[in-house]
Amino acid sequence: MREQVKFWRDPRFGNLDLLHAHYVTHTFSRHAHETYAIGVILDGAEAFHYRGETHVAPAGSIVAIHPGELHTGHAAAADGWTYRMLYPD
C-alpha cells in the first residue's frame, strides 16, 4: 500500500481536526502540537520518541500526546502503520 493522508475538520464537533493516514517511509521529526493529539493505531506499528523514551505502538494501541510536548514518529513495521488522529482544542 502506498502512503496516503486525509486531513479534515468536522463542523459537527466544533471544527475538530481529524487525520486518517498510512505511512511507510515518512518520518516525523521532533515537533509539538498546540492541542492534544490522540490516535488509534489501526494496522502495523508506529515508533515514536516522547518524554525521553522510545515507544512502539502496535495495532490496537491508543496514543495520547499532551499539547506542547515534543515527539517524533516513524514506522516500526516493514509495511508501515495506519492510524486515525484527532486534535481536540
- pLDDT tens track, the chain, 89 positions: 799 999 999 999 999 999 999 999 999 999 999 999 999 999 999 999 999 999 999 999 999 999 999 999 999 999 999 999 999 98
The model's pTM: 0.93
Cα separation, 47 vs 75, in Å, equals 6
Domain holding 14, by residue range, is: 4-87
Domain count, the chain: 1
Q: What is the CATH number of the domain that holds 33?
A: 2.60.120.10
Among 53, 88, 52, CA closest to 67: 88
